[in-house]
Amino acid sequence: MNKHISLSFGTDAPLIEVITTTRAMRRLEPEPVPRALLEELVRSATYGPSAGNNLTYQADHFDRTPALIIACYESRGPILRMCHTFGRQLIALRTLGTRHTLTMLRNLRRSMMVGEAASIYPGVQNLLLTARALGLAASMTTWHTMFEREVEAALGIPRHVKIYAIIPVGRPAGNFGPVTRRPLADAIHWQHW
Ligand SMILES: Cc1cc2nc3c(=O)[nH]c(=O)nc-3n(C[C@H](O)[C@H](O)[C@H](O)COP(=O)(O)O)c2cc1C
162, β-bridge pairs: 73
- Mutation test residue for ligand 1: of 26, 28, 124, 142, the one with most atoms within 8 Å of CB: 142
4-33 pLDDT, tens digit each: 679 999 999 999 999 999 999 999 999 999
pLDDT given at position 83: 77
Q: Determine the Cα angle at 53 with ends 142 and 71, to 5°.
A: 20
Residue nearest to atom 7 of ligand 1 (CA): 141
Question: What's the mean pLDDT when you consider all of the chain?
Answer: 91
Kindly report, residue by residue over 71-92, the tens digit of the pLDDT.
Answer: 999 877 667 777 788 888 888 8
Predicted pLDDT at 2: 47
- pLDDT tens digits, 140-174: 999 999 999 999 999 999 988 999 999 999 999 98
Report the atom number in ligand 1 closest to the C-alpha of 26. Answer: 11
Among 177, 168, 176, 175, smallest CA distance to 32 is for: 168
Query: Is residue 91 lining ligand 1, measured as CB closer than 6 Å?
Result: no
Residue 27 CA to residue 18 CA, distance in Å, equals: 19
Does 43 or 74 have the greater pLDDT score? 43
151 within ligand 1 shell (Cβ under 6 A): no
